[in-house]
Homo-oligomer: A and B are copies of this chain.
């Protein structure tokens, strides 16, 4: 089905007519300001609009948000799997990353954006390098992103200065873009890769510039043991001492958080990004303690991590993996029920990144997706939320809107072929360079 190509260009008001929302059928009016203007039965009658999307046979869901990824690692998808962590990194991933160029990061991020738009994700929280190229890719793709330069000083003063300058340059560069969908986070990689001085600088810079913080936290048992051995304190306490735990902090993984750390994260209003597929694939040895974090009142969101350790960016699949892993790990099938999985992937993530979406109501950003009901995964339709979490994947998404702009309709994303061929070419050239062949 080839849609009216105008739909991708329109900035005027848009009507989604007769779409299923929970057990009702509603109209959704999207204003030219990118916000939901109205939602309700026959809401279309009282509003002007330039374009109309037929919502029949579609379920209406909030657009999903990926709160932890390294988008450009799509170029490494399937390059190395099923290895122990250290040889995987040292022998396969790092040697390839050493040859990455700004152009590679552009193409890898474009590919990631295409994959995310195609699977109902409207925005993401990214950490990598050559982030100016990532910003350009996001700008062109039409998504939202919070972009962090991965700050790694390895406890070296000279490196720290370099990382500070790189962080400042990204913040300045993104500010100059003046794209309301794109912002910067400060990205101290983790307590085992960034010196206490580096962590403090990051906290001060983030406070000074009013930026988010994106950090890895308690991913492995080794990280915790090393922190305790060298500093006498666990990783969350180290982040907190540096001033890095706050309402604008997204801490990825959290597998090895103990109960006190869960309460600390909750008390600071920080968000833990759960990355179940990556944690399982790399065998972190423990699942993020969701029941403890929930009990403590911490905000939890969902992420895929990079595609080298997942190897997909499909948050529908990740919702299911999260629900399954939490039930299995804590031996209780009532843990992380489907509505909570959707909350992690949408509502909580929008709050974490300050985007205001994830609510299907007038005044909220029109960050939303339509999911096909005329598929096996949505047949029967006893529960739209259960089907979204447990039965469907992102492939059931037909239409993706971000800030009121149509990024995909009837599964067509404009420019997809160019992105696929550009990224494939960049990946082949990268492997050839790393192998020393011209």
Contact = CB atoms under 8 A, between A and B. Distances in A.
Interface centre among A83, A279, A312, A332 (most CB of B within 10 A): A312
A390 B312 contact: yes
Interface of A: 74-79, 81-85, 88, 111, 114-115, 118, 277, 279-285, 287, 307, 310-314, 317, 320-321, 323-325, 327-328, 330-338, 374-377, 379-383, 386-387, 390-393, 395, 417, 420, 423-424, 427-428, 431
A414 B395 CA distance: 20
Nearest to A278: B324
A333 B420 CA distance: 29
A219 to B, nearest CB: 13
Contacts of A118: 376
B311 A281 contact: no
Contacts of A115: 376-377
The complex is assembled from copies of this chain, and their number is 2
Nearest to A116: B376
A311 B391 contact: yes
A324 B386 contact: no
Contacts of A280: 324-325, 327-328
Given A337-B82, A391-B78, A379 B111 contact: yes
A423 B380 CA distance: 7
A379 to B, nearest CB: 5
Given A111-B376, A118-B376, A280-B325, A81 B390 contact: yes
Contact of A386 (B78, B334, B335, B337): B78
Given A281-B323, A317-B317, A327-B280, A376 B420 contact: yes
Given A81-B386, A312-B391, 14 more contacts: A75-B380, A78-B391, A114-B376, A279-B328, A283-B327, A283-B328, A283-B332, A311-B386, A312-B392, A317-B317, A317-B320, A379-B427, A380-B423, A393-B395
